[in-house]
Structure 1
Amino acid sequence: MSKPFAAAFATLFLAGMPVMAQTPPAAASRDCQGGIDLARAAEIGREAGVTQLRKVECEDGKWEVEGRDAQGREIEVDIDPRDGRVLKTDRD
C-alpha cells in the first residue's frame, strides 16, 4: 500500500469514527419511552453488576443491558423503562 493511499484511507476511516460514536443505537424505541432513557438504563445495568458494557437496547418493551460481570461471565439485565426497576438478571 502506497503512503498517499494509506494516509487517505486512514483519514477517511478516522473521520468517520466520531460520526459512528455519536450515532445512538436504534434503541430509542417508542416501547421504552418513559422515565428511563438509554444512558440511565446503562447506569442501572452497571449498578446491577455489568462491568463491561456491550449493548443497551429496547427489546419487548424493556431495556436490555448486556455485557460481562466482574468475573467475566456474560450478564443481561432487564429494566423497566418507566421506573428503572430491575426486572431480571441473567448470568451465563
Structure 2
Amino acid sequence: MRKFILPIAMALALGTAAPAMAYGTGDQISMQVALDVASDLGVVTVSHTNLLGDEWQIEGRDRAGRWMEVDVDARTGEVRNVDRGW
C-alpha cells in the first residue's frame, strides 16, 4: 500500500497543475496580465479567476472589502465589464 501513495500523490499534483499551464498558450494573454488589469482597477484580494472562452473573469475584493468582478478580453487585455458590489 505504501508504494502506491507517492505515485497517486504525484498524479494528483500533475493533474491539478495541467489546466493552469494551458492558460498562457496561443495568442491569449496570461492569467497574470489579466490579474494586473484587475489590480489596476482596484481589486486587491482575488478569490476566483476563470478563463471562459475569450474572457478572463476575475472576482475579488477592493480595499474597502467590497466584492468586484472584472471581465478582461483574453486576446487584447481590454476591460469588458466591471461589476462592483455596493
Matching residue's letter, 2:30: D
Structure number with bigger Rg: 1
Which structure 1 segments of 5+ residues have no match? 1-14
Which structure 2 segments of 5+ residues have no match? 1-8
| Contact map agreement 1:80 1:86 (CA 8 A) in 2 | yes
Task: Name which of 49, 53, 58 aligns with 2:46.
Answer: 53
The answer to whether the aligner puts 1:23 opposite 2:11 as a matched pair is no
The answer to whether the aligner puts 1:74 opposite 2:63 as a matched pair is no
- Where do 4+ consecutive residues of structure 1 move more than 6 Å? none
RMSD between superposed Cα atoms in Å: 2.9
Identity %: 33
In 2: Cα distance, 1:27 partner to 1:62 partner: 17
- Cα shift at 1:79: 0.3
| Contact map agreement 1:53 1:68 (CA 8 A) in 2 | yes
Q: CA, structure 1 residues 35+46, in 2 after alignment: closer, same or farther (shift >3 Å)?
A: same
In 2: Cα distance, 1:62 partner to 1:33 partner: 14
Q: CA, structure 1 residues 71+33, in 2 after alignment: closer, same or farther (shift >3 Å)?
A: farther
The answer to whether the aligner puts 1:83 opposite 2:68 as a matched pair is no
Equivalent pairs, count: 73
Q: CA, structure 1 residues 33+79, in 2 after alignment: closer, same or farther (shift >3 Å)?
A: farther
